[in-house]
């Protein structure tokens, strides 16, 4: 069975990519960080489903621990490595810049060095980001557009994007970057804006929350479905040549529009519930991100297949189910009431 290593397997994309690869018959290995509480919630289902077959395996590591990465890569010699690990929250990157930058730069370098020294045939995928563009102008962004990072997170991603290209060109290694625009799902972290909204809509629907506090409602993003985007990641490493690829839908919407549509699904007017606070305004805002995925459409035969409205519906319906369970546990005194708005960023 062909082996794949995924860093950041416990995250949103780690879940969807694992699912795709397990369905294709790969032996999936992922790195997890030690934490004081269990952080494998998204992938626990795979752990039990593939326990006896050994098709799904987790290993302790950290992108900043080159010894564990070297041991793991030399022991497994995977066919491909998907580097999804990052401190991926842009607002948080202003609060913990040193950690965000170390993981987002040295972390990537550690893997590239390990591949170079252990087996140059291992294919490498770098999770680059549309944040690298900075979003100052209302333009469609492609693989040749200029980077203008606006946060420690984005600056680190630019470094990793560039160093991936350096290893590709210097050592003939198969190193590709997917410049992914925002992608969301019911598995999205609760402090990213789309999930923060869908979670609040679910809780408001069940009478568990009364207000939703957001930051910049005018920011626009090209939002797609994570399940579609991991297919793009797979196709990027399956292509004949290593390269850089934009993965996006080609449409941008405002945060306000996302909120309006999400509240419409529970027959409520968002203006009655959404308030704004300076607390969620970033030191430097990325106002507008719109991707041009023509190259991936044409050469990878990849396209986003979930509409904006369907994505919102998927997320809201899932969060109504979660809020329904939460209410039942609360009503039976099995959990304590949480504070009104359970998310911090």
Task: Give me the count of residues in the chain.
Answer: 345
**Binding segment (CB under 6 A) for ligand G4F, from list 27-35, 95-103, 109-117, 125-133:** 125-133
Q: Distances from the Cα of 276 to the Cαs of 34, 184, 257, 342, in angstroms?
A: 36, 22, 15, 16
Site membership for ligand G4F, residue 250 (CB under 6 A)? no
Minimum distance of ligand NAP from residue 77's CB (angstroms): 20
89 in Cβ contact with 189 (< 8 Å): yes
Q: What is the 3-state secondary structure (H, E, C) of 157-221?
A: HHHHHHHHHHHHHHHCCCEEEEEECCEECCCCCCCCHHHHHHHHHHHHHCCCCCCEEECCCCCEE
**Binding segment (CB under 6 A) for ligand NAP, from list 86-94, 196-204, 250-258, 336-344:** 86-94
| 75: nearest Cα among 122, 19, 38, 34 | 122
User: Which of residues 132 and 323 has its CB atom nearest to ligand G4F in the complex?
Assistant: 132
129 is catalytic: yes
242 in Cβ contact with 168 (< 8 Å): yes
Site membership for ligand NAP, residue 88 (CB under 6 A)? yes
User: Which of residues 7 and 304 has its CB atom nearest to ligand NAP in the complex?
Assistant: 7
Site membership for ligand G4F, residue 130 (CB under 6 A)? yes
Minimum distance of ligand G4F from residue 25's CB (angstroms): 29
Site membership for ligand G4F, residue 63 (CB under 6 A)? no
Minimum distance of ligand NAP from residue 128's CB (angstroms): 7
Task: Give me the catalytic one of 61, 129, 176, 177.
Answer: 129
Q: Which residues in 138-197 contact ligand NAP (CB under 6 A)?
A: 180, 182-183, 189
- The bridge status of strand 212-214 relative to strand 274-276 is parallel
Across 88-110, b (16+ Cβ under 10 Å) vs e yields bbbbbbeeebeebbebbbbbbbb
| 109: nearest Cα among 126, 123, 132 | 126
The helix/strand/coil state of 102 is helix
Which of the choices ligand G4F, ligand NAP, none does residue 255 contact, using the CB cut-off of 5 to 8 A by kind? Answer: ligand G4F
One character per residue 10-49, x = contact with ligand NAP (rule: CB under 6 A): xxxxx----------------x-x-x---x----------
234 is catalytic: no
Q: Distances from the Cα of 292 to the Cαs of 120, 233, 239, 303, in angstroms?
A: 31, 16, 19, 11
Which of the choices ligand G4F, ligand NAP, none does residue 231 contact, using the CB cut-off of 5 to 8 A by kind? Answer: none
Site membership for ligand NAP, residue 198 (CB under 6 A)? no
Residue number closest to ligand NAP, CB atom: 11
Minimum distance of ligand NAP from residue 303's CB (angstroms): 17
Which of the choices ligand G4F, ligand NAP, none does residue 39 contact, using the CB cut-off of 5 to 8 A by kind? Answer: ligand NAP
67 is catalytic: no
113 in Cβ contact with 106 (< 8 Å): no
Please tell me the count of residues contacting ligand G4F according to CB under 6 A: 24
Across 36-59, b (16+ Cβ under 10 Å) vs e yields eeeebebbeebeeebeeeebbbbb
Minimum distance of ligand G4F from residue 33's CB (angstroms): 17
What residue spans of 29-148 are helical by DSSP H?
44-49, 66-76, 90-95, 97-118
Q: Distances from the Cα of 164 to the Cαs of 169, 174, 299, in angstroms?
A: 9, 9, 21
Residues that bind ligand G4F (CB under 6 A): 88, 90-91, 129-131, 181-182, 191-193, 196, 214-216, 219, 221, 255, 280, 282, 285-286, 289, 345
Residues that bind ligand NAP (CB under 6 A): 7-8, 10-14, 31, 33, 35, 39, 62-64, 84-88, 103, 127, 129, 180, 182-183, 189
Q: Which residues are catalytic?
A: 129, 131, 153
């Amino acid at each position: 069975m062909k082996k794949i290593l995924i860093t950041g397997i416990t995250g949103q994309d780690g879940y969807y990519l694992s699912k795709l690869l397990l369905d294709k018959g790969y032996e999936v290995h992922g790195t997890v960080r030690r934490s004081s509480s269990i952080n494998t919630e998204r992938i626990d289902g795979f752990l039990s489903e593939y326990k006896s077959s050994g098709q799904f395996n987790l290993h302790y590591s950290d992108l900043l621990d080159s010894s564990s990465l070297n041991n793991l890569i030399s022991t497994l010699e995977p066919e491909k490595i998907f580097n999804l690990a990052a401190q991926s929250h842009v607002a948080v990157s202003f609060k913990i810049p040193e950690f965000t930058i170390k993981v987002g730069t040295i972390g990537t370098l550690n893997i590239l060095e390990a591949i170079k020294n252990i087996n140059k045939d291992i294919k490498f995928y770098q999770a680059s980001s549309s944040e690298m563009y900075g979003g100052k102008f209302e333009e469609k962004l492609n693989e040749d557009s200029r980077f203008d990072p606006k946060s420690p997170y984005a600056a680190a991603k630019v470094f990793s994007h560039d160093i991936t290209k350096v290893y590709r060109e210097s050592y003939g290694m198969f190193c590709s970057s997917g410049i992914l625009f925002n992608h969301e799902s019911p598995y999205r972290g609760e402090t990213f804006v789309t999930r923060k909204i869908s979670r609040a809509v679910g809780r408001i629907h069940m009478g568990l929350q009364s207000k939703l506090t957001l930051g910049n409602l005018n920011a626009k993003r090209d939002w797609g479905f994570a399940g579609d985007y991991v297919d793009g990641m797979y196709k990027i490493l399956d292509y004949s040549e290593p390269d850089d690829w934009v993965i996006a839908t080609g449409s941008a919407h405002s945060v306000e529009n996302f909120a309006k549509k999400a509240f419409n699904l529970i027959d409520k007017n968002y203006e009655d519930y959404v308030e704004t606070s300076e607390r969620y305004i970033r030191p430097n805002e990325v106002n507008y991100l719109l991707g041009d995925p023509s190259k991936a459409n044409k050469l990878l035969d990849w396209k986003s297949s979930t509409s904006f409205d369907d994505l919102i519906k998927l997320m809201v319906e899932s969060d109504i189910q979660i809020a329904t369970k939460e209410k039942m546990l609360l009503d039976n005194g099995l959990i304590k009431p949480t504070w009104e708005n359970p998310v911090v960023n």
